[in-house]
């Protein structure tokens, strides 16, 4: 249970809003680019339950039939699209300009081996790619949500999956979701059950020839395993072509290494044969239709690294063109490549053709510096790697940055795990400080729902997916939250929460200051210990200096600035009115705090 922080610390956190510029929309609203956005990532099932009538998705029976059990962290809890619509003003109050929602397509309600079942509340076990899952509401309710978000100036990014479907295809002789991967060398496409098996798929040349004529020779899916589909699920997938096992790799579970990374089943999920021309065109048709009908603003692409580059080279331009025809020139595509190495992330912008990828390298560096208290030189190393992306720093400015998420866990959990006995005061300060770094450094900041209410979680995956509406899950309700005495057993839409107010203040400053969204970033100072990290963002004749103190002691330092930046004013903290000398500016920063100083116009 959280213990009340001192009044001084609460006033400090709230003060982040006091320095904010007046609330006003971004200039040239229709001309917004990716760098202008502040994104809110939300799992609809865990956000707000506006319609209890859809909690069971129109199904009957126990939780293994309906998927609904609000007391269990692995089942549906009742949140829906109508709940998102109801709380749009709460989200907008954070300064959010775009909402990324976890998949809302129709899922297999429950899957998993006996005794290990869980539900598709997260949205990643799709059976019908063309429909809204009944647990989340109706097509009409989704349309109203998009319309209501757009009316508030907020964009909508849908989470999509092309790598896999729900687990429907089974393999003879294997337990559910437990078949080991069988390689192309040991189980070639032209032999049944191994190199010594009977000849099948005569003349098929594998992925070396991605032509339609080559794939017409692929007619038998039983090269590695004997596939089978339960009778009750033979037609469960929509569109109908997805029910044919020939459009899947059928090689068993991925080991996340080598060829299995792109051809293996992700924990039993049916891995699509994304090299196949029919699969490529089928996915283009599916997700193009969502753009056509609802006028959404972008796609976050799940498990991007587990799909072959040639697929993305066709799919990404097709989605961009579909959006342009719908009049959506700002369509934003970013892929999930779960890797902290910026070199490997950059590969997906250079080879696969992604305009942006989720910046796991940023998250890793923030974890080291703000959680584990490593030297701030780690951040400089991160930003030096921006040159690796296709388009260099310009592309790096479009990367979605984040502190934690639904898979790896929440930032505040990392802080508590790595720093046992951390006081409430320090936990709040360091949490706000990390959000400030995300909000003002290059990139597109992504707020994970609930972080603004001090959610901590107990770990990753299901343990980081708490309810915003009153929760019935005991393992959530006993958590220590940040900046509040509340628990998740009550509704958590408190706009006076110190973290909510801090983020709202940061968003207002960011919206009113083009340099903090679009400005070129130059690292000014870093150290090999906890302490100073400073950078400037330059835009037109404006320079904004942002300096952080990641250490537990106050600091005073001279920071290099542009020689033409002479007169300064504060956007946050205390800023000296003038440079100490041309090109040098003095900063004083309290422990776990930052200053935000602007000089405009430069000479």
pLDDT-derived band of residue 6, with 50, 70 and 90 as boundaries? very low
pLDDT of residue 602: 75
Cβ atoms 427, 412 nearer than 8 A = yes
Span 129-142, mean pLDDT?
98
Using the predicted structure, report yes or no on whether residue 30 has a pLDDT greater than 70: no
Average pLDDT over residues 249-259: 97
Q: Is the pLDDT of residue 530 over 60?
A: yes
Query: Pick the catalytic residue: 302, 352, 466, 543?
Result: 302
pLDDT given for residue 2 in this prediction: 35
What average pLDDT does the structure give for the chain?
A: 95
pLDDT band at 9 (very low <50, low <70, confident <90, very high): very low
Question: What's residue 423's pLDDT?
Answer: 97
Residue 395's pLDDT band (boundaries 50, 70, 90)? very high
336 part of the active site: yes
Q: Look at residues 12, 323, 338 and name the one whose alpha carbon lies nearest to residue 156.
A: 323
C-alpha angle 167/169/172, rounded to 5°?
Answer: 125
For residues 538 and 559, the answer to whether their CB atoms sit within 8 Å is: no
| Long-range Cβ contact pairs of 455-459 (< 8 A, separation 24 or more) | 455/410, 455/412, 455/479, 455/481, 455/482, 455/488, 455/492, 456/410, 456/412, 456/413, 456/416, 456/480, 456/481, 456/482, 457/409, 457/410, 457/412, 457/413, 458/413, 459/409, 459/413
Output 221 or 7, whichever has higher pLDDT: 221
Element (H, E) at 42: strand 39-42
Residue 5 has pLDDT above 70, yes or no: no
| Distance of alpha carbon 62 from alpha carbon 69, whole angstroms | 9
> pLDDT tens digits, residue range 286-336?
999 999 999 999 999 999 999 999 999 999 999 999 999 999 999 999 999
- Please pick, among 80, 133, 270, 336, the residue that the annotation labels catalytic: 336
Cα(441)–Cα(4) distance, integer angstroms: 31
The stretches of 351-473 forming alpha helices (DSSP H) are 360-366, 377-384, 393-396, 411-418, 424-440
Torsion angle of the four alpha carbons 43, 49, 55, 57, in this order, in degrees rounded to the nearest 10: -60
Confidence of residue 22 (pLDDT cuts 50, 70, 90): very low
> Quick one: average pLDDT of 114-127?
97
In tens, the pLDDT along 160-206 reads 999 999 999 999 988 777 899 999 999 999 999 999 999 999 999 99
Please give the average per-residue pLDDT across 95-120, as a whole number: 97
């Amino acid at each position: 249970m959280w213990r009340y922080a001192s009044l001084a610390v609460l006033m400090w956190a709230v003060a982040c809003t006091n320095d904010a510029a007046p609330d006003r929309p971004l200039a040239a609203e229709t001309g917004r680019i990716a760098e202008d956005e502040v994104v809110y990532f939300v799992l609809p099932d865990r956000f707000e339950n506006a319609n209890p009538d859809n909690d069971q998705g129109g199904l009957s029976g126990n939780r293994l039939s309906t998927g609904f059990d609000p007391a269990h962290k692995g089942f549906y809890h009742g949140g829906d699209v109508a709940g998102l619509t109801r709380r749009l003003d709460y989200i907008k109050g954070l300064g959010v300009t775009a909402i990324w929602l976890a998949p809302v397509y129709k899922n297999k309600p429950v899957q998993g081996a006996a005794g290990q079942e869980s539900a598709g509340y997260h949205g990643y076990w799709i059976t019908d790619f063309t429909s809204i899952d009944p647990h989340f509401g109706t097509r009409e309710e989704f349309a109203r949500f998009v319309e209501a978000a757009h009316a508030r100036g907020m964009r909508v990014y849908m989470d999509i999956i092309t790598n896999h479907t729900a687990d429907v295809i089974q393999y003879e002789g294997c337990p559910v979701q437990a078949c080991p991967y069988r390689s192309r060398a040991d189980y070639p496409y032209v032999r049944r059950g191994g190199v010594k098996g009977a000849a099948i798929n005569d003349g098929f040349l594998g992925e070396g020839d991605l032509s339609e004529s080559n794939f017409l020779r692929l007619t038998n899916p039983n090269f590695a395993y004997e596939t089978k589909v339960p009778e009750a699920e033979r037609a469960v997938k929509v569109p109908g072509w997805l029910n044919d096992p020939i459009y899947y790799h059928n090689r068993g579970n991925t080991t996340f290494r080598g060829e299995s990374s792109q051809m293996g089943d992700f924990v039993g999920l049916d891995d699509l044969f994304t090299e196949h021309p029919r699969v490529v065109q089928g996915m283009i048709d599916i997700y193009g239709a969502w753009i056509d009908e609802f006028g959404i603003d972008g796609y976050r692409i799940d498990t991007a690294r587990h799909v072959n580059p040639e697929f993305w080279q066709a799919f990404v331009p097709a989605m961009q063109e579909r959006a342009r025809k719908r009049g959506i020139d700002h369509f934003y595509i970013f892929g999930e490549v779960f890797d902290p190495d910026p070199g490997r992330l950059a590969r997906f912008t250079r080879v696969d053709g992604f305009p942006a990828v989720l910046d796991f390298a940023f998250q890793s560096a923030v974890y080291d510096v703000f959680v584990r208290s490593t030297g701030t030189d780690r951040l400089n190393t991160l930003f030096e790697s921006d040159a690796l992306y296709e388009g260099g720093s310009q592309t790096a400015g479009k990367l979605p940055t984040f502190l934690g998420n639904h898979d790896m866990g929440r930032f505040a959990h990392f802080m508590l795990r790595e720093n046992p006995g951390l006081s409430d005061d320090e936990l709040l300060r360091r949490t706000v400080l990390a959000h400030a770094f995300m909000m003002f450094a290059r990139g597109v900041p992504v707020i994970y729902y609930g972080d603004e209410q001090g959610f901590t979680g107990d770990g990753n995956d299901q343990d980081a997916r708490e309810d915003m509406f009153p929760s019935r899950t005991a393992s959530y309700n006993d958590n220590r939250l940040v900046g509040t005495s509340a628990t998740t057993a009550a509704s958590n839409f408190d706009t006076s929460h110190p973290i909510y107010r801090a983020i709202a203040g940061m968003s207002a400053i960011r919206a009113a200051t083009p340099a903090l969204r679009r400005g070129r970033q130059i690292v000014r100072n870093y150290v090999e210990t906890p302490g100073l990290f400073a950078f400037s963002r330059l835009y037109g004749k404006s320079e904004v200096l942002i300096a952080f103190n990641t250490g537990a002691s106050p600091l005073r330092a001279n920071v290099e600035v542009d020689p033409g930046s002479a007169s300064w004013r504060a956007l946050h903290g205390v800023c000296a009115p003038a440079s100490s000398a041309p090109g040098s500016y003095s900063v004083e920063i309290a422990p776990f705090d930052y200053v935000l100083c602007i000089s405009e116009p430069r000479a």
